[in-house]
């Protein structure tokens, strides 16, 4: 074999680089996200409830937001949602974030874990701590 | 049934005449229809603004109005005019009313600056050309913009005869102090078109558009379809002009002219 040593060395280097993501994470367990509802507004609530059940919101919050978006922007249906005497605007910025004022813990942690980058935050914004 | 050549030609000729007549008939009807057509929508609401240019005099007046709009909607102030984003702005007489070719108009009119914004046309060309329906006309006549659907093709900018649309060439947040932005309203992102939305978010809360609120009565807002509305009252008692009537978009922004002390 011509230049055998060089080829084998090259293969070893290639394999080392190609398999780097596997062995570099080997044995480490990814930390499961634990979104927190520990915010001043939520803590004051007698009964902690969202516009839908927590189970539903965990799976389908993006669909709820999508539906609200169409209703508010396109159909002009800006009627508010009342849950347990509390009034919510159909709005990410003016609705959701009023209670969930801990974006980094409540939103970002799961999104990072799942590797999704929602572009909602390209336009909608939020001031840390919910200061308005 | 067999048909000979002679018969066929007879029938074909008659059919041709018939087709021609029906086409001519629909053309006549179509014409008559077009001339009678009203710009008022079936919903019975066509929201409009009447701007009394005589009542906006000083630079502070203009600034107060444009700042009110731009601050609550988080519109960035971008110094580069090629990148700037405008919802409401000012320009001179010549640019505002290019159809008014009378060169002997009063001097103060030539010197005057005019408030410009989206005209919320009855026949908006921007809506017709938008491939994603990001720009759409609401039943109340507002030409709205949905940034979620905008793909930034800028057809609407090419279609708008009034230059009322702005494209975000750069990230608007670079030109906004994010600590001073209005937390109730989003910013926009790079690559979308934006414009005046006649404050739909304020109308939903029962408020008037921001420019109307701070104009000290110089801008009046109301429903054109309602004969008793304040806008119709002004339009029926004052001489008003619209921008570029020749393009046929039927703007919903009217300018009361007369100027100076004569302005009602």
What is the secondary structure of B1-48 as a DSSP string? ----HHHHHHHHHHHHHHHHHHHHHHHHHHHHHHHH--SS-TTS--EE
On the question of pLDDT at B187 being above 80, the answer is: yes
Shortest distance between the Cα of B178 and any Cα of chain A, in A, equals 9
The predicted pLDDT at position B9 comes to 87
Residues of A in contact with B183 (CB under 8 A): 93, 125-127, 132
d(CA B248, CA B34): 12
d(CA A89, CA A100): 14
Cβ <8 Å between B186 and A93: yes
The predicted pLDDT at position B166 comes to 95
What does DSSP say about strands B143-145 and B166-167: parallel, antiparallel, or unpaired? unpaired
**Mean pLDDT over all residues of chain B?**
89
d(CA A121, CA A131): 17
Q: Which chain A residue is nearest to residue B137, measuring alpha carbons?
A: A74
More confident: B84 or B261? B84
User: Which of A69-83, B151-165, B182-196 has the lowest average pLDDT?
Assistant: A69-83
Name the one residue in this structure whose structure tokens are 């002997």: B104
Contact B231, B223 (CB under 8 A): yes
List the beta bridge partners of residue B241.
B255
Shortest distance between the Cα of B126 and any Cα of chain A, in A, equals 16
More confident: B43 or B258? B43
Residues of A in contact with B184 (CB under 8 A): 93-94, 132
- Give the Å distances, CA to CA, from B236 to B114, B223, B240, B256: 22, 14, 9, 11
Cβ <8 Å between B146 and A122: no
Cβ <8 Å between A123 and B187: yes
Q: How confident is the model at residue B37 (pLDDT cuts 50, 70, 90)?
A: low
Which residues of A have a CB under 8 Å from any CB of B? 69, 73-74, 76, 78, 93-94, 119, 122-127, 132
Q: How confident is the model at residue B1 (pLDDT cuts 50, 70, 90)?
A: low
On the question of pLDDT at B138 being above 80, the answer is: yes
Q: What is the pTM of this model?
A: 0.79
Q: Nearest CA to B141 among B203, B188, B96?
A: B203
Buried b (16+ CB within 10 A) or exposed e, A45-67: eeeeebbeeeeeeeeebeebbee
Span B187-205, mean pLDDT? 94
Interface test with A, best of B74, B148, B201 (most A CBs within 10 A): B148
Q: How confident is the model at residue B263 (pLDDT cuts 50, 70, 90)?
A: very low
Q: What is the pLDDT of residues B49-100, one digit of tens each?
A: 999 999 998 999 999 999 999 999 999 999 999 999 999 999 999 899 998 8
On the question of pLDDT at B248 being above 90, the answer is: yes
The predicted pLDDT at position A129 comes to 56
Q: What is the pLDDT of residues B224-236, one digit of tens each?
A: 999 999 999 999 9
The predicted pLDDT at position B19 comes to 75
Give the whole-number percent of chain B exceeding pLDDT 90: 70
CB atoms within 10 A of CB B232: 17
The tens-digit pLDDT sequence of chain A (132 residues) is 789 999 999 999 999 999 999 988 888 877 888 888 888 888 888 888 889 898 999 999 999 999 999 999 999 898 888 888 888 889 998 899 888 888 888 899 899 988 899 999 999 988 765 555
The predicted pLDDT at position A80 comes to 86
């Amino acid at each position: 074999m011509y230049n055998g040593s060089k080829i084998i060395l090259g293969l070893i280097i290639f394999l080392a680089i190609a398999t780097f993501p596997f062995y570099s994470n080997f044995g480490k367990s990814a930390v499961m996200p634990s979104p927190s509802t520990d915010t001043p507004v939520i803590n004051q609530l007698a009964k902690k409830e969202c516009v839908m059940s927590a189970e539903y919101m965990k799976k389908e919050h993006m669909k709820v937001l999508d539906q609200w978006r169409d209703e508010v922007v396109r159909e002009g249906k800006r009627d508010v949602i009342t849950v347990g005497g509390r009034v919510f605007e159909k709005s990410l910025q003016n609705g959701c974030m009023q209670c969930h004022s801990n974006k980094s813990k409540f939103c970002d942690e799961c999104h990072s874990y799942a590797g999704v980058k929602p572009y909602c935050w390209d336009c909608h914004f939020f001031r840390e701590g919910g200061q308005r | 049934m067999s048909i000979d050549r002679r018969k066929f030609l007879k029938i074909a000729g008659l059919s041709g005449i018939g087709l021609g007549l029906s086409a001519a008939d629909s053309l006549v009807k179509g014409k008559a229809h077009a001339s009678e057509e009203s710009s008022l929508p079936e919903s019975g609401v066509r929201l409009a603004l009447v701007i009394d240019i005589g009542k906006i005099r000083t630079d502070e007046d203009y600034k107060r109005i444009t700042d009110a709009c731009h601050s609550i909607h988080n519109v960035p102030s971008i110094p580069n005019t090629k990148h700037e984003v405008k919802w409401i702005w000012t320009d001179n007489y010549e640019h505002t009313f290019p159809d008014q070719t009378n060169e002997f108009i009063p001097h103060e009119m030539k010197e005057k600056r005019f408030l410009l914004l989206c005209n919320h046309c009855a026949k908006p060309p921007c809506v017709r050309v938008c491939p994603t329906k990001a720009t759409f006309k609401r039943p109340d006549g507002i030409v709205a913009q949905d940034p979620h659907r905008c793909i930034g093709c800028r057809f609407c900018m090419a279609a708008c005869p009034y230059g009322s649309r702005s494209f975000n060439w750069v990230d608007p947040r670079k030109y906004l102090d994010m600590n001073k932005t209005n937390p109730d309203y989003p910013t926009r992102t790079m690559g979308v078109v934006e414009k005046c939305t006649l404050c739909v978010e304020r109308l939903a809360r029962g408020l008037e558009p921001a420019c109307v609120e701070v104009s000290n009565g110089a801008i009046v807002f109301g429903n054109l379809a309602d004969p008793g509305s304040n806008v119709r009252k002004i339009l029926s008692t004052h001489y008003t002009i619209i921008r570029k009537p020749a393009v046929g978009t039927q703007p919903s922004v009217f300018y009361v002219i007369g100027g100076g002390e004569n302005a009602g």
